[in-house]
Amino acid sequence: MNKNIKLEVRNITKIFGKDPQKVISLLNKGLSKNEIFEKTKQTIGLNNVNFEVYDGEIFVIMGLSGSGKSTLLRCLNRLIEPTGGDILIDGKNITDMDPQELRSARRNKIGMVFQNFALLPHRSVLDNVAYGLEIQGIPKEERYSQALEAIETVGLKGHEHSRITQLSGGMKQRVGLARALANDPDILLMDEAFSALDPLIRGDMQDELLALEDRVQKTIIFVSHDLDEALKIGDRIALMKDGEVVQIGTPEEILTEPADSYVSKFVAGVDRSKILVAESVMKRPEPLVPINSGPRVAIQLMKDHGISSIYVVEGKNRRLKGILMIGDALEALKTGKSLEAVMIPDIPRVAPDLPLNEVIPLIAESQYPLAVVNDSGKLLGIIVRGSVLGALAISGEIGQDEIPDGKASEERDSGENIPEEKPPEKMVLIGKNEGEAGPPPAGSGSPGSIINNGIDSGPVPVEAEAKNEAPAKAPARSDAMPGPEVKTC
Ligand SMILES: Nc1ncnc2c1ncn2[C@@H]1O[C@H](COP(=O)(O)OP(=O)(O)OP(=O)(O)O)[C@@H](O)[C@H]1O
Ligand SMILES: [Mg+2]
């Protein structure tokens, strides 16, 4: 999705009643929708609604019954005439168009899918899908060819000669969608399009809409009163109340930064682990060491940042190659090996859009933080256990007391990585290296102390390791770094 504006709604107001000016003056005095209805028997459908929809996005309008969703959607193609305001599609003001221009815009730019399918029961699937083209006077061959393409797009190939009465609810919904797609509109308006379907078919249709969106890149404005549906399919969501938009944001923004108590109540009870994704809980991976650097550079970076492991990347694109432990870096220094030879290449990786409910089992099993990488292998961030717990706790999915030692919040605040609870085996090897590592190399400066994790145990002086001395107060090796020596960055 790019950020070109496809549709702009500016100050749209819709008053259902004979004297809208009176309603507007009462609105300006601060009266509520209900008070105005009591006084005037006129209804505020929409009150000064503003938003933009980007080219290729799925923009969901949601809210309780009567909040104005259908009124807003129908204003977008002027099935309902707004009382005031402007609607621009590709910069052209729909509200200024004469009937002919409007008809042409509706044919070429905007398709609509209705909740109740609105099909012609005695016609075949093909003739229903081709209906809009037929009334435009498009010759039979051409309209059938376009209709067949749309039928295939919605997965109904082979059913084109079935009668509507022979179809299930889900199939009828597909026919409605195919009819809207047949004249290849830029914008699809869908009003509770899946509400009449049973939950399983509804889920399938949502998946197919997302797949369709990937293929055909329409701009879709989708009305729903179902929060789960909105969170699943919406790139952004506008939440309405009493004819006003109270918040517009991505599903994550709506969940994590609700604009007011109405939105908070609306989203209470949502399973956030399905909505939040890897990207939303990852930390910046800093510092990183280029793969062609020597071990001295890696050791210095770890020293400067007070960490004992570091991610190894290649090229300007930061392609993730592996993770390097301080012990292995010291060994490389001693033996003259390259970083590539001593790093651990096999670290768990996840895609940025992996939902947290799939991240959680992976991180539970993993010795290392999870690396978040994009399709081309670029390291975008890392995820440690505490940040997942922290994100869910912030949004109310788990209680603070479920976070081990309450550390998640500390680390969240500091923006630091959260160390793993179990020391990775590789870190235990540092202990084994104690007797082997030589002093720090001349010219590299004293490595000073590599701070462990700042939480579970005190600093583990690298000099002690390097000089073949046990660190002061160091307990037995398996306990020496009870926490997470892998404080990556
Ligand atoms: N033709 C009309 N005449 C008078 N009032 C109307 C008309 N259409 C809608 N309204 C009122 O406008 C408000 C918004 O209605 P709208 O149908 O847009 O709500 P909605 O959010 O789509 O609700 P639902 O989820 O029930 O479909 C409601 O108060 C409704 O009563
Ligand atoms: Mg409605």
As a whole number of angstroms, the distance between CA 318 and CA 283 comes to 15
Length of the chain as a residue count? 489
The predicted pLDDT at position 390 comes to 67
**E strand residue ranges, 201-356:** 219-224, 236-241, 244-249, 288-290, 309-314, 319-325, 349-350
Of all protein residues, the one whose alpha carbon is nearest to atom 1 of ligand 1 is 16
Of all protein residues, the one whose alpha carbon is nearest to atom 3 of ligand 1 is 16
The predicted pLDDT at position 213 comes to 86
Write the single-letter amino acid at 274. Answer: K
Q: State the ligand closest to the CA atom of 72.
A: 1
Ligand 2 midpoint to CA 279 (Å)? 34
**Domains in the chain: ranges and CATH:** 5-109+185-270 (3.40.50.300), 279-480 (3.10.580.10)
Helices (H) and strands (E) in the chain, counts: 23, 18
Ligand 2 midpoint to CA 45 (Å)? 11
**Which of 143, 142, 124 has the alpha carbon at shortest distance from 132?**
143
Ligand 1 midpoint to CA 248 (Å)? 20
Ligand 2 midpoint to CA 69 (Å)? 6
Ion ligand 2: residues, CB within 5 A, are 70
Of all protein residues, the one whose alpha carbon is nearest to atom 14 of ligand 1 is 68
Q: Which two tokens stand for residue 337?
A: 């090996």
Q: By the 8 A CB rule, do 223 and 70 touch?
A: yes
Q: Which two tokens stand for residue 278?
A: 């890897």
Q: Which two tokens stand for residue 7?
A: 């549709």
* Ligand 1 nearest atom to the CA of residue 192, by list position: 27
Instruction: Tell the residue number behind the tokens 């997965």, with chain if given.
Output: 155
Ligand 2 midpoint to CA 191 (Å)? 7
Q: Which two tokens stand for residue 423?
A: 């020391």
**Which of 401, 384, 399 has the alpha carbon at shortest distance from 485?**
384
Of all protein residues, the one whose alpha carbon is nearest to atom 4 of ligand 1 is 16
As a whole number of angstroms, the distance between CA 185 and CA 97 comes to 18
Write the single-letter amino acid at 92. Answer: K
Q: Is 362 exposed, middle or buried (0-12, 13-18, 19+ CB in 10 A)?
A: middle
Please give the model's pTM, rounded to 2 decimal places: 0.65
End-to-end CA distance of the chain: 31
Q: By the 8 A CB rule, do 435 and 441 touch?
A: no
Ligand 1 midpoint to CA 69 (Å)? 8
- pLDDT tens digits, one per residue of 320-344: 999 999 999 999 999 999 999 999 9
- pLDDT tens digits, one per residue of 60-91: 999 988 999 999 999 999 999 999 999 999 99
Q: Ligand 1: residues within 6 Å at CB? A: 16, 43, 45, 63, 65-71, 225
Of all protein residues, the one whose alpha carbon is nearest to atom 19 of ligand 1 is 66
Per-residue pLDDT of the chain (489 residues; tens, 9 = 90+): 568 999 999 999 999 999 999 999 998 898 999 999 999 999 999 999 999 999 999 999 999 889 999 999 999 999 999 999 999 999 999 999 999 898 888 888 898 888 777 789 889 999 999 998 898 888 999 999 999 999 998 889 999 999 998 888 888 888 998 998 888 899 999 999 888 777 878 888 888 889 888 888 899 999 998 888 898 899 999 999 999 999 999 988 888 888 999 898 888 777 777 778 888 888 888 889 999 998 999 999 999 988 888 999 998 889 999 999 999 999 999 999 999 999 999 889 999 989 888 888 888 888 888 999 999 999 999 988 777 776 666 555 444 344 333 332 333 233 333 333 333 332 222 222 222 222 333 333 333 223 222 222 222 233 333 333 333 333 333 322 222 333 333
Q: By the 8 A CB rule, do 194 and 206 touch?
A: yes
The β-bridge relationship of strands 43-54 and 5-16 is: antiparallel
As a whole number of angstroms, the distance between CA 467 and CA 444 comes to 15
Q: Out of 69, 191, 229, 239, give the residue to mutate to test ligand 1, the one with the largest number of ligand atoms within 8 Å of its CB.
A: 69
Q: Out of 70, 222, 240, give the residue to mutate to test ligand 1, the one with the largest number of ligand atoms within 8 Å of its CB.
A: 70
Q: State the ligand closest to the CA atom of 64.
A: 1
Helix axes 199-216, 140-153, angle to 10 degrees: 120
Q: Which two tokens stand for residue 424?
A: 């990775």
Q: By the 8 A CB rule, do 379 and 352 touch?
A: no
DSSP track, 374-426 = -TT-BEEEEE-HHHHHHHHHHTTSS-GGGSGGGHHHHHHHHTPPPPPSSPPHH
- If one counts every other C-beta atom within 10 angstroms of the C-beta of residue 13, the result is 20
